[in-house]
Structure 1
Amino acid sequence: MPVLVSPDELAALLAADPRVRVLDVRWSLAAPDGLPAHRAGHIPGAVHVDLERELSAPATPGGGRHPLPPIADLRRAASRWGVDDGDPVVVHDDSGGLAAARAWWLLRHAGVADVRVLDGAFAAWRAAGLPVATGDEPAPPPGNVRLSYGHLPVIDADEAAALPDRGTLLDARAAARYRGDEEPVDPRAGHIPGAVSAPATDHLDPAGRFRSPAELRVHYAALGVRADRPTAVYCGSGVTAAHSVLALAVAGVDAALFPGSWSAWSADPARPVATGASPRPPAPTAPPAPPVPPASSPAAPTTGAPA
């Protein structure tokens, strides 16, 4: 099943199939409420989705800042969006898919088969000269989609700790947060020992579209991703990591998600933290041995001769 759709392809889908549901998932840490942006301009017929309230449960130390919502809550939200069983769903944001990927991953994990992300986000739709609506859309008829979790792989903290020994654990946050240079939101700075720095922004080209499958395969191979070893991704709170799972899917690689991510890991004082650019902290070195004093010279024999 394709995971991306271009603006022109989406326009053709909307013209040909009235069942296509478009979800506007605009969100960022700086502007978590995307409704004002949606009202200012959106794809005609798109439904605004609230990432904080509909694609996440309330934060907890064990679950992180964006735990997965209970399946019953997600089912109610999807009904509000008008999603029926079998409907094709297209999700978008205005940040290169970094928020929309959360909806893509969550709906796929819940069993919706045909979910795609608008490549290039809302900016690409505008740039293509396609129609834009403003204000609020009429509420769609309630949908009847049936959902159940378990259709995509996930890992927990214990599995994240063990994965670097047998596979590749990718950290999708900015490199400065990975190194521990800064940590603006979570309890501790650094990364999971053994994880490899793989910022999600590296998936996109200068136009904000996903790089080609071939480019992404080369990119991930350089980070240690291999077909014969498992791959998993985490980020700050499980949102941006979904973008990495999406990019890996474009490259033809199946990857698991650690939903709690760094926000859950760093809240547990029993979990170790690595800092710096290396996946693991350098092994401790033994202190240098104290210098061996030079052997004393034997005393010169006394001869009784005048000095």
Structure 2
Amino acid sequence: MSGFSGHEAGPYEALRRGRAAVDRLASRLAVNGGTLREVTATQVLLAEASPRVCFQEFTSAEEAKAGADWMWWWVDRGGTCFGLLAQAKILKVSGRRWTVDFGYTTKGHPQSQIAKLIEAAEPYSVPAAYILYCGDRKYRATLECSRTHGGVPCRDRERVGVSVACALAVQEAAKFHQSAAVVEVFHDAVPLEDIASPVEGLDEPIRSLARELDEELARFLRQPQRGARRVAKELLRPLERIRLGQFASAATLERAAPAAGALFRDVADQGHFSVPYLDHVLRGLRTGVPDYVRDVMDGRTPPAAVTDRFGGIVVITDADALG
């Protein structure tokens, strides 16, 4: 257990420190013919980000069954929080071919790992995501993406060595882009350290095709956000872009049972995703901290229903703090 004590750094700086440590390790391993592994990368990331970022690590024995690694929670100073269930993946290259094995299956479990990840998130009413370990700029030198970010070539972006990608967006990329899915996912991934507490600029408005949006939700999509709210908005952003490319006639707002404490309700536009994408992401945005997250914050061990299922829990407190 690594607990949070003091405010010597904001969440951005703590995660930047962790990401830089992972980048250095990946670079050193590559020079010596080694390969970074997901478990090691996560341990280095969190160890370097602590004590500002607190975490508990559990057994990973259930990973193959659940299709998930860690639960991540961003908790704002006012108590609003956002959680996601994340699978760690390494961006791999062989020659000039880039891969991430999103379609991985395990013996006796024909369901793909991405489908299991989305399914595993259901009982906890959080969205599914991937934490991508993408190496440093030298490692990404042959990754081809013709698009830019603020005039910077996609592969040369700063801070993307550890990034976050929504699992539904990954699922769509795997379905429609096949061998180019990795490039598509990498382009849409958000640097982990930027996702809640950016140091550059404000997030852009999101245009939604869903009809009958509650005014509070419409305002959330239009206005800049910080902390837990920003994490939810950035996870939703690539899905809304994909949704705009689907048939507008299918943009109906179905009604669904809301997650307990959900900040937004009745947000179940299905589109052509495998699950209603608005509900899938926004159910993770809560008005209060779940008990098992509070356990980690207070130094207690969560119940077995949590510890037996995941590799661990990460809690980023004061997620809306500057820096």
Q: Same fold (TM over 0.5)?
A: no
Structure of greater Rg = 1
Q: Give the structure, 1 or 2, with the largest relative contact order (CA under 8 Å, sep 6 or more).
A: 2
TM range (shorter): under 0.3
Write 1 or 2 for the structure with the bigger share of strand: 2
